[in-house]
Amino acid sequence: MKAALLLKAGLIETQPLVLTDYPVPEPGPKDILIRVKACGLCHTDLHTVEGDLTLPKLPLIPGHQIVGLVEGKGKEARRFQKGDRVGIPWLHSTCGKCEYCREGNENLCDEARFTGLHTDGGYAQYCVVGQDFACPIPKEYPDLQAAPLLCAGIIGYRALRLSGVKPGDQLGLYGFGASAHIAIQVAIHWGCEVYVFTRSEVHRSLARSLGAAWTGGAEDEPSKKLHSAILFAPDGRLVHDALRSLRKGGTVALAGIHMSSIPEMAYSLIYHERGVRSVANSTRRDATDLLSLAPKIPIRTEVEAFPLAQANQALGLLKASKIQAAGVLTIP
């Protein structure tokens, strides 16, 4: 099969992904083999390729917003049939036995493994996943439009929940890429008033078209104090800006898997019970809930497509914030 393979981490400008022939993976007893049709681009892919994350496996095929068709399956895999359309998200497997798993917090499992990090992902023509960690794709979404739902959408949805935002609240979104452009649609569906902070006028325009009540830069003061805020941009300095914009008792949720250091801050920024919390991965329930909700809103995903052979160039555009909303690789 054709695959964009990472042999050694490096800056995306050095084009570390190599398009090559690679063996088709063999499904285990409870696995399904997926013929990949599309794979979304994520900042986590960029952090993986550039070595910001510890890489437990090399060589590695990145990618974890995977849409494809069931091509084969193991002897004990009965959940899906050949030809079914499924998605593979970031969470690839968990132990299922630990305290976190038993409490419904499988995203915190110490033995959790993640697609495109611990296992080969979707920058390839085929990939394998356990049947219990695949998601049926809503029929309303073509392959390209479905791909961003599988991480950008799921993480945005979890970040909304962990931010504590409620109907009628003022919500701030810092950064407006793939995840934020989905989260805003969920928030507005819930009756929130959304304020978007981004440098890009293109992104501000998209935010306004999706219903943002206000747009501006991170340093700008919104017209109202915020009940909650979510940071999608991996810049620790923005934590200060978000805290300054919060009401008393508000929460800032940090949606990225990697972020630059948060500078030292005055205690006054978090006084009056303002809080900061991270969003770590996601659960299968997050995926099920988001994919069930998406067609009801309906969420519209804005995508820019790239062929697999241009994976390096596409991630370079993502790094430079030159993709309007969500980038997706089309797999030949």
> What pLDDT, on a 0 to 100 scale, did the predictor assign at position 28?
97
What does the alpha-carbon distance between residue 24 and residue 265 come to, in Å, rounded to a whole number?
Answer: 50
Q: How far apart are CA 264 and CA 97, in angstroms?
A: 39
User: Does position 107 have pLDDT exceeding 90, yes or no?
Assistant: yes
Do the beta carbons of residue 187 and residue 179 sit within 8 Å? no
Is the N-terminal amide bond of 298 cis, ω within 30° of 0? yes
3-state secondary structure (DSSP) of residue 121: coil
For the chain, which domains are there?
Answer: 2-150+282-330 (3.90.180.10), 153-278 (3.40.50.720)
Whole-number pLDDT of residue 175: 95
Decide: 192 and 212 in contact? Cβ < 8 Å. Answer: no
Structural Rg of the chain based on CA atoms = 19
- pLDDT over threshold 90, residue 79: yes
Q: Order of strands across the sheet with 214-216? A: 214-216, 193-197, 170-174, 226-231, 246-254, 275-278
What's the pLDDT score for residue 281? 94
Residue 284 pLDDT more than 90? yes
pLDDT of residue 33: 98
User: What pLDDT, on a 0 to 100 scale, did the predictor assign at position 324?
Assistant: 85
For the question of whether the overall pTM of this predicted structure is more than 0.75, the answer is yes
Per the rule left: phi > 0, alpha: psi between -120 and 50, beta: everything else, 205 is: alpha
Q: How far is CA 284 from CA 6, 287, 290, in A?
A: 27, 5, 10
CA atoms within 13 A on the CB side of 163: 32
